[in-house]
């Protein structure tokens, strides 16, 4: 009997200690590694942080998730049949909380992004004026962000080798509440509303776009509706647009949206020729408008650079700059009203 009792105790000890020395299967280890990598990627992704609820520096968040009763493999009666085990402190421990350090970003100011702004430029921007200038491809822009911020719209536009450029800046002040990147993204999604905004021509409202819609793709130009407002930001997005206007007919544009740490960049390029009475005026991929939007302390910054190429024999006969200026005016009004709509919708 004593030998049987010792054997039983030995077997009981082996059963208890066996899980401590067992090794995970290769697939199980892979899942653990993938999970850690995914968690790291989730918290370092720049586009997931809300700027307006942020403070400078870093904060530490604690996450404690107790196990539910369904996660135990055995019920209490089976696992703790011997009540003497309940008094053994070696079987109980308090798990430490899981701590994640998440970077918190401070909202920037207009002076931080454009440190070389003149006093006149800043006063005009803060008073609702649209800073706009047309210049040639061999000239330099005057609205220049700080070089270390990576907001190089001019360099991106110059890759298209434009002959004509237009730089624009406007500050949309906050009214009912501060706005974030998700508000900007949803304001940019209202493609069907572009046609509702006129340009001012000799103090009269002039509707240049008669239709504005998304299309399925570059090859399939069937109109599709705008999606519902998003609840979360995407990493990036590409959409295709058809704008029908009074002078040039259908304009087919590719819109590329990218989400950054502080702002959203929206690039529009023509993927077909722009024609005037069947005559190609601007060849495919030779017109580009890049709009950068960022919530700053003073409001929503809208900074854009447009570029297009015209051969000399066309540039001498057709002055497209006033036409492009009017279309930029329409886009600014469209974005501004979309931001106001976000304030009214989400701020209630």
Least Cα distance to 262 among 106, 115, 145 occurs for 106
| Residue with tokens 């008073």, as numbered in its chain | 127
Residue extents of the structural domains in the chain:
2-103, 110-346
What radius of gyration do the chain's Cα atoms show? 30
Q: How confident is the model at residue 161 (pLDDT cuts 50, 70, 90)?
A: very high
Q: How confident is the model at residue 5 (pLDDT cuts 50, 70, 90)?
A: low
pLDDT tens column, 66-83: 434 343 333 444 333 444
Residue 304 pairs in a beta bridge with: 168, 291
CATH class of the domain at 110-346: alpha beta
pLDDT at residue 142 above 70? Answer: yes
Residues 87-103: what's their mean pLDDT? 46
**pLDDT value of position 345:** 81
**pLDDT value of position 94:** 53
Q: Is 157 exposed, middle or buried (0-12, 13-18, 19+ CB in 10 A)?
A: buried
Cα–Cα distance measured from residue 346 to residue 251, given in angstroms and rounded to the nearest whole number: 33
105 or 265: which carries more pLDDT confidence?
265
Cα–Cα distance measured from residue 63 to residue 55, given in angstroms and rounded to the nearest whole number: 20
pLDDT at residue 311 above 50? Answer: yes
Residue 242 pairs in a beta bridge with: 213, 252
pLDDT tens column, 182-212: 999 999 999 999 999 998 888 888 899 999 9
Cβ 163 vs Cβ 308: under 8 Å: yes
Cα–Cα distance measured from residue 288 to residue 156, given in angstroms and rounded to the nearest whole number: 9
**pLDDT value of position 9:** 53
Spell out a b/e string for 67-76, using b for 16 or more CB atoms within 10 Å of the CB, else e. eeeeeeeeee
Residue 214 pairs in a beta bridge with: 224, 241
**pLDDT value of position 141:** 95
Residues 127-152: what's their mean pLDDT? 94
**pLDDT value of position 39:** 27
**pLDDT value of position 285:** 95
Residues 140-151: what's their mean pLDDT? 94
Q: Bin 128: left if φ > 0, else alpha if -120 < ψ < 50, else beta.
A: left
pLDDT at residue 90 above 90? Answer: no
Per-residue tokens: 233: 């930001």
| Residue with tokens 């024999």, as numbered in its chain | 313
pLDDT tens column, 312-330: 888 777 778 888 899 999 9
| Distance, first Cα to last Cα, the chain | 79
Q: How confident is the model at residue 96 (pLDDT cuts 50, 70, 90)?
A: low
3-state secondary structure the chain: CHHHHHHHHHHHHHHHHHHHHCCCCHHHHHHHHHHHHHHHHHHHCHHHCCCCCCCCCEEEEEECCCCCHHHCCCCHHHHCCCHHHHHCHHHCCCCCCEEEEEECCCCCCHHHHCCCCCHHHHHHHHCCCCEEEEEECCCCCCCCCCHHHCCCHHHHHHCCCCCEEEEEEEEECCCCCCCCHHHHHHHHCCHHHHHHCCEEECCEEECCEEEEEEECCCCCCCEECCCCCCCCCCCEEEEEEEEEECCCEEEEEEEEEEECCCCEEEEEEECCCEEECCEEEECCCCEEEEEEEEEECCEEEEEEEEEECCCHHHHCCCCCHHHHHHHHHHHHHHHHHHHHHHHHHHCC
**pLDDT value of position 104:** 55
**pLDDT value of position 75:** 40
Q: How confident is the model at residue 6 (pLDDT cuts 50, 70, 90)?
A: low
| Residue with tokens 């015209």, as numbered in its chain | 310
Cα–Cα distance measured from residue 242 to residue 4, given in angstroms and rounded to the nearest whole number: 86
**pLDDT value of position 203:** 83
Per-residue tokens: 255: 């819109």
């Amino acid at each position: 009997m004593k030998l049987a009792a010792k054997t039983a105790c030995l077997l009981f000890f082996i059963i208890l200690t066996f899980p401590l020395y067992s090794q995970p299967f290769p697939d199980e280890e892979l899942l653990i590694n993938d999970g850690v990598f995914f968690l790291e990627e989730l918290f370092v992704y720049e586009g997931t942080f809300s700027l307006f609820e942020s403070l400078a520096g870093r904060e530490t968040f604690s996450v404690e998730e107790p196990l539910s009763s369904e996660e135990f493999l055995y019920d209490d009666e089976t696992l703790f049949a011997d009540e003497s085990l309940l008094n053994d402190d070696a079987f109980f421990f308090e798990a430490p909380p899981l701590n994640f350090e998440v970077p918190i970003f401070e909202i920037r100011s207009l002076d931080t992004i454009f440190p070389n702004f003149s006093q006149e430029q800043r006063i005009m921007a803060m008073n609702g004026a649209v800073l706009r200038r047309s210049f040639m491809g061999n000239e330099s822009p005057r609205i220049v962000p700080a070089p270390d911020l990576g907001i190089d719209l001019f360099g991106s536009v110059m890759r298209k080798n434009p002959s004509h450029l237009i730089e624009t800046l406007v500050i949309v002040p906050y009214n009912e509440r501060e706005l974030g990147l998700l508000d900007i993204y949803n304001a940019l999604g209202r493609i069907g509303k572009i046609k509702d905004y006129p340009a001012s021509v000799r103090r009269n409202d002039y509707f240049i776009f008669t239709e504005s819609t998304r299309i399925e793709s570059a090859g399939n130009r069937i109109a599709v509706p705008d999606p519902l407002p998003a609840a979360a930001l995407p990493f990036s997005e590409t959409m295709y647009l058809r704008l029908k206007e009074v002078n040039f007919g259908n304009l087919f544009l590719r819109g590329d949206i990218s989400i950054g740490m502080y702002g959203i960049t929206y690039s529009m390029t023509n993927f077909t020729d722009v024609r005037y009475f069947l005559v190609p005026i601007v060849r495919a991929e030779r017109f580009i408008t890049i709009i950068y939007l960022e919530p700053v302390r003073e409001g929503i910054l809208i900074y854009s650079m447009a570029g297009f190429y015209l051969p000399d024999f066309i540039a001498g006969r057709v002055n497209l700059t006033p036409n492009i200026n009017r279309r930029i005016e329409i886009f600014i009004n469209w974005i501004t009203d979309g931001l106001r709509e976000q304030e009214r919708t989400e701020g209630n």
